[in-house]
């Protein structure tokens, strides 16, 4: 099997190769610290060995539950937010037919998501769809207390129970949560739901290779063993006995850190296949939540080209020179489609006749890379041979490992997220949650001014 390839040749006009390689010893040391659990946040490093430690019995159990949903449901609603939804969403969007919503007679249940917002219209419209469908629910929350999924679950649980009866509903609900604590664990025990455990030492955004990602992906009909195989191969390729120059995750981490030190404070993850939009969303959470703290960190953004070349392209080419770009490049798409010849040639496109659409896309990609580098935007390329489970597994682990090393290079704890509490405290205070009275008073005074 091939591997995804990292190419940093197009950053050397901006940061010298020697400066990046000067970080080799630190990057190797931090990679070791991740494996030996000696760095900051070391109680959240369970993800490091997940690919090599997940057992075939665990995978079998996940596939069995997925099979059960397949037998009973047309739709499975996966409830979760942040790390409890983005990994599964990323894989399902990347590997599904772009128009799967319109396909009839699907072999696998349609996976829909909820609990990743508090939008009343979204939930009400979802219920309208579910009224006439056989459906099940997978509720995912590591803490078991997150407001968005808790609200969605309360609404959907009631809907399902009213529809099929409490006894039948119990067998159509699976909870993925902490082994002991949290409201979801308590509820699951009380109601007798099938459960899967999110390990204590795996944080939400690093949990795609646990049942959090694997169950929804298996329900949608994708091969979780291949996903794990890919991740396992990247675990080997980035192991602490690899030297810096042989470890793509270490090189990526050192390169982006060097660019950051040169004033490149925004990294845009660019793709040329819109199926990768949610891979970018997953990546943004991973890096944004891991690195954006202590007034430091690269701001992770994303674009889908060529679509966004007609909007954000202007800024990237000529706006503030604080951006670098990392391109997810798919070597070979699944389909072949050629541009037809037209006798009249009114649109002047006959120079493209008989060429594959992908050939045009690839030239757009190359042309953009050259233009952006000329315009002062350093460019990193990650070449992905094909869009399948195996290479996505590699990509996830690659980014996770690089994120750990990168956070340590930056000097932060990449495995906590203290900043996400601020909005929650205000929201609870404004909603008059018991215990938040003092904060409510402060906010009301502010609002009165
Ligand atoms: O990465 C994280 O830890 C967060 O984004 C969480 O995944 C997110 O807030 C959801 O948390 P929970 O699974 O506890 O509901």
- Residue 273 inside a domain? The answer is yes
Q: Are 127 and 67 in contact (CB under 8 A)?
A: no
Dihedral of CA 290/43/249/89: which sign?
A: negative
- Residue 442 inside a domain? The answer is no
What CATH number does the domain containing 350 carry? 3.40.50.10490
Q: Are residues 112 and 127 in the same domain?
A: yes
Stated length of the chain: 449
One digit per residue, pLDDT tens: the chain, 449 residues? Answer: 799 999 999 999 999 999 999 999 999 999 999 999 999 999 999 999 999 999 999 999 999 999 999 999 999 999 999 999 999 999 999 999 999 888 767 899 999 999 999 999 999 999 999 999 999 999 999 888 899 999 999 999 999 999 999 999 999 999 999 999 999 999 999 999 999 999 999 999 999 999 999 999 999 999 999 999 999 999 999 999 999 999 999 999 999 999 999 999 999 999 999 999 999 999 999 999 999 999 999 999 999 999 999 999 999 999 999 999 999 999 999 999 999 999 999 999 999 999 999 999 999 999 999 999 999 999 999 999 999 999 999 999 999 999 999 999 999 999 998 888 888 888 888 988 899 998 999 999 999 88
Q: Are residues 234 and 346 in the same domain?
A: yes
Task: Specify the residue with its C-alpha closest to ligand 1, atom 3.
Answer: 204
35 catalytically annotated: no
Residue where one domain finishes, among candidates 225, 260, 279: 225
Token match 């202007």: residue?
314
Q: Are residues 331 and 257 in the same domain?
A: yes
- Residue 425 inside a domain? The answer is no
Residues whose beta carbon lies within 6 Å of some atom of ligand 1 = 81-84, 141-143, 146, 149, 203-205, 289, 417
CA of 246 to the centre of ligand 1 (A): 33
Q: Are residues 140 and 240 in the same domain?
A: no
Q: Residues of 82-117 as b/e, b for ≥16 C-beta within 10 angstroms?
A: bbbbbbbbbbbbbbbeeeeeeeeeeebbbbbbbbbe
424 catalytically annotated: yes
- Number of domains the chain contains: 2
Give CA–CA dist 215/46, Å, rounded: 19
Q: Residues of 179-196 as b/e, b for ≥16 C-beta within 10 angstroms?
A: eeebebbebbeeeebbbb
Give CA–CA dist 209/87, Å, rounded: 8
- Residue 287 inside a domain? The answer is yes
Q: Are residues 266 and 373 in the same domain?
A: yes
CA of 426 to the centre of ligand 1 (A): 18
289 catalytically annotated: yes
- Domain of 91 in residue numbering reads as 50-225
Q: Are residues 33 and 63 in the same domain?
A: no
For 84-131, list the strands marked E by DSSP: 110-114
Ligand 1 atom with minimal separation from the 148 CA: 15
- Residue 435 inside a domain? The answer is no
Token match 């060097």: residue?
258
- Kindly report the backbone phi and psi dihedral angles of residue 178, in degrees, each rounded to the nearest multiple of 5, phi listed first: -60, 150
Q: Are residues 80 and 212 in the same domain?
A: yes
Q: Are 229 and 394 in contact (CB under 8 A)?
A: no
Q: Are residues 289 and 180 in the same domain?
A: no
Q: Which of 310, 336, 432, 449 is catalytic?
A: 310
Q: Are residues 101 and 174 in the same domain?
A: yes
Helices (H) and strands (E) in the chain, counts: 18, 10
Residue where one domain finishes, among candidates 192, 225, 258: 225
Q: What is the pLDDT of residue 449?
A: 83
Ligand 1 atom with minimal separation from the 143 CA: 14
CA of 155 to the centre of ligand 1 (A): 20
Residue where one domain finishes, among candidates 182, 205, 225: 225
- Residue 74 inside a domain? The answer is yes
Q: Which of 17, 64, 296, 424 is catalytic?
A: 424
Q: Starting from the edge strand earliest in sequence, which strands make up the sheet with 323-330, in order?
A: 5-10, 379-384, 323-330, 266-271, 299-304
**Predicted structure pTM score:** 0.96
Q: Are residues 91 and 121 in the same domain?
A: yes
Q: What is the pLDDT of residue 421?
A: 81
């Amino acid at each position: 099997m091939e591997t995804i390839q990292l190419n940093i040749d197009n950053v050397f006009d901006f940061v010298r190769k020697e400066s990046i390689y000067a970080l080799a010893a630190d990057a190797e040391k931090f990679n070791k610290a991740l494996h030996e659990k000696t760095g900051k946040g070391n109680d959240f490093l369970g993800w490091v060995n997940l690919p090599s430690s997940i057992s075939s019995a665990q995978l079998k159990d996940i596939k069995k539950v997925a099979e059960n949903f397949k037998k009973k449901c047309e739709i499975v609603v996966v409830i979760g937010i942040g790390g409890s939804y983005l990994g599964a969403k990323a894989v399902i969007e990347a590997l599904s037919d772009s128009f799967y919503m319109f396909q009839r007679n699907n072999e696998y249940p349609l996976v829909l998501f909820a609990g990743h917002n508090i939008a009343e219209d979204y939930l009400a419209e979802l219920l309208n769809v579910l009224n006439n469908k056989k459906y099940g629910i997978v509720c995912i929350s590591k803490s078991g207390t997150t407001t968005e999924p808790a609200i969605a679950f309360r609404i959907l649980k009631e809907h399902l129970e009213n529809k099929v009866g409490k006894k039948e509903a119990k067998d159509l609900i699976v909870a993925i949560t902490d082994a002991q604590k949290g409201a979801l664990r308590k509820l699951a025990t009380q109601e007798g739901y099938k459960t899967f455990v999110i390990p204590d030492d795996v944080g939400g955004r690093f949990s795609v290779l646990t049942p959090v990602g694997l169950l929804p992906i298996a329900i949608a009909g994708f091969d979780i063993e291949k996903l794990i195989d890919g991740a396992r191969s990247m675990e080997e390729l980035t192991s602490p006995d690899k030297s810096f120059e042989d470890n793509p995750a270490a090189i990526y981490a050192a390169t982006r850190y060097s660019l950051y030190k040169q004033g490149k404070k925004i990294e845009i993850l660019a793709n040329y296949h819109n199926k990768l939009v949610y891979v970018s969303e997953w990546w943004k959470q991973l890096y944004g939540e891991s690195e954006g703290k202590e007034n430091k960190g690269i701001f992770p953004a994303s674009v889908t080209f060529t679509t966004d070349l007609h909007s954000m392209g202007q800024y990237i080419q000529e706006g503030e020179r604080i951006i670098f770009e990392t391109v997810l490049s798919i070597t070979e798409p699944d389909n072949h489609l050629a541009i037809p010849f037209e006798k009249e040639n009114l649109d002047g496109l006959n120079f493209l006749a008989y060429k594959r659409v992908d050939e045009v896309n690839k030239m757009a990609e190359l042309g953009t890379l050259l233009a952006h580098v000329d315009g002062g935007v350093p460019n990193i390329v990650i070449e992905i041979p094909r869009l399948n489970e195996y290479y996505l597994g590699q990509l996830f682990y690659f980014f996770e490992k690089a994120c750990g090393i990168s956070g340590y290079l930056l000097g932060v704890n990449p495995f906590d997220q203290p900043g996400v509490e601020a909005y929650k405290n205000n929201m609870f205070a404004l909603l008059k949650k018991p215990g938040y009275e003092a904060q409510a008073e402060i906010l009301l005074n502010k609002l009165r001014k």
